[in-house]
Amino acid sequence: MCGRYSLAVSTSEIESWFKAELESGDFSPTWNAAPGQVLPVMVRRDRSWLRPMRWGFQVAVGSGSSFVINARTETVGSKSSFKHLANGFRCVIPSTGFYEWQKRGGEKIPYYIHFPDLPVYGMAGIYRPETLEQESSFLILTTEPKGIIRSIHDRMPLVLDREGVEEWLDGGMDVEVRLNLTEQARGFRAETYTVSNRVNRVGVNGPELVREERHEAVWTLFD
DNA sequence: CCAGACGTTGTT
DNA sequence: GTCTGG
DNA sequence: CCAGACGTTGTT
DNA sequence: GTCTGG
């Protein structure tokens, strides 16, 4: 699953990597992007835009509702809550790395995961457009973890390189077909290591959050 | 038409 | 609220 | 994702 | 246990 990530680059670097223009506002680099925050998200209209959106939204479930921050790639195209968004409101969330918590005994140990060959990348997402009642908000799609990441957690975000970003945003294909295409292995390295549990506190931020405590491995993401 | 499900984890 | 299944 | 709160009155 | 806030 993906519940925290870093976006440790300036707005202008995001604009240039994604060839997109910021619609409004400004963003500082962050090493602790968390659900509930407003973050830059790429959408495609006439051209590519970076739009401020809130991470997560309420989904009706049972008689009540739940705050959801992820959707499974396996089911996003068929679940009633997400199907319409997956077909019409796809987006890409800029990122420079993400965190996963490994359960070890009763402890949860945070790992930072990033890609040395892909220092900036996108995560596939869907979003709810702005309405009179509610601001725009997004979810991050999750998938089966690949390679070394399997030893940390059983889900991870759907990571997109430049080509993947185009495949996810472009064209008129059915969302199931599109996901199959987007999930094709492309083979780049993932570096993973444990970090300080200071990242647990959403109010804490700074480059020290991604400082390595214990190195685990550099491995191929897709094998 | 109505009834029932509808999201993610992780744990048992 | 909205979709699927019957 | 994690952290932290989680009830009611009435009074200041 | 469950909800809210970040």
For the stretch A107-166, pLDDT in tens is 889 999 999 989 999 999 999 998 877 889 999 999 888 888 888 898 899 999 998 899
- Chain D footprint bases within 7 A of protein beta carbons: 1-4
For chain A, what percent of residues have pLDDT higher than 70?
Answer: 90
DSSP string, A139-166: EEEEE---GGGGGT-S-EE-EE-HHHHH
Question: Domain count of chain A?
Answer: 1
Domain housing A23: 4-222
Instruction: Specify the CATH number for the domain of residue A150.
Output: 3.90.1680.10
CA/C1' separation A105–C2 (Å): 41
For the stretch A59-99, pLDDT in tens is 888 777 888 999 988 888 888 889 888 888 999 999 999 99
For the stretch A177-189, pLDDT in tens is 677 666 665 667 8
Q: Considering only CA atoms, which of A165, A123, A128 is closest in space to residue A54? A: A128
* C1' of nucleotide B6: residue with nearest CA: A61
* C1' of nucleotide E4: residue with nearest CA: A67
Name the pTM for this structure.
0.91
The pairing of beta strand A5-7 with beta strand A30-33: antiparallel
The complex's ipTM?
0.81
- Chain E footprint bases within 7 A of protein beta carbons: 3-6
